[in-house]
Chain A
Amino acid sequence: MSALDTSPPGRSAIKRITVMQGEALASKDPQVELSTVLGSCVATCLFDPIAKVGGMNHFLLAEPPAHLSHLEFDEHYGLFLMELLINEMLKLGAAKSRLKARLYGGANMNSGLAQIGSANAAFARRFLQQEGIVQAFEDLEGQSARRVHFQPATGRVRCSTTAQAAIPKQKPVAPPQSDVGQVELF
């Protein structure tokens, strides 16, 4: 679930919503700010400048099982979260053809064979290219954790590096198992 933090009191209150791994949220509310902390995960910030609708997802591709190449990350889940984000934005009046994307995260925090961060980053770039979505900016890979704040109604993003300790322990989060691939014949 998302954490909703309305602060500070007084002034024009900003509604800060934390986008957790496995989530995709969209809004056109000028008071909403979507925030997340990324290690090897990637966050996609999409913005429609005409409809003034923005949204963010936060995903981590599952590592391949031992019998597969370390390069064969499972992209089903990343694709699901991309589509979920786009659909949420369409519901608020966005048009896919107008979307501009900014990508963040994908750090390789630990030196290992599976460069998880790079795999997440590569998937995100490839998705945007295949879908014809303009990639306006990226701050991807490297070795630093990142904190991202996104104002969905304006498309403004602030990104800063942060201590690795700020990153929640993360494993790929699957959608509710009761629904995954569920077949219902009428």
Chain B
Amino acid sequence: MTKGHEMTQSTRILTVDDSASMRALLLNALQQEGFDVEQAVDGQDALDWLASNEVDVIITDINMPRLDGFGLIERLRESARHADRPILVLSTESSDEKKRRARDAGATGWIVKPFNADKLAAAVRRIAH
């Protein structure tokens, strides 16, 4: 099956990153792939927004003020509503220790920045429920 608009059009992604430049880059890349994109500026902003909204996939940075990516994942996994929600970490970090910590917290996967839009979109399609 080729990359279909019908497949991805209804997939809603929440990106969480404190960098406005990175949010703009992600928004552009993911919208071009046909995804619906919502954005939060840090982990706490994401939690607040998710309290009354639904998404299919969350893509989060790690280093953020107020609540970082690890904290966000841990908080989401405490909630039955988000226990199985696919969560990808997108970070400049690539150490095994950080990846292990994310996996233990309940992350679904890890992508190293700078991201490749095709690979990111493929990963989202693969894990989206």
Residues of A within 8 A of B (CB): 75-77, 79-80, 82-84, 86-87, 90, 96-97, 126-127, 130-132, 175, 179-186
Contacts and interface: CB of A to CB of B under 8 A. Distances in A.
Given A77-B114, A79-B25, A179-B112, A185 B19 contact: no
Nearest to B113: A80
A80 B115 CA distance: 9
Contacts of B126: 185
A76 B24 contact: no
Give the contact-size bracket for chain B.
20 to 34
B111 A183 contact: yes
A96 B18 contact: yes
Contacts of A183: 109-111, 119-120, 122-123
A117 to B, nearest CB: 20
B115 A83 contact: no
Interface string B34-77: 00000000000000000000000000000101000000000000
Given A83-B92, A179-B94, A130 B114 contact: no
Given A87-B93, A90-B63, A181 B111 contact: yes
Given A80-B113, A87-B63, A184 B99 contact: yes
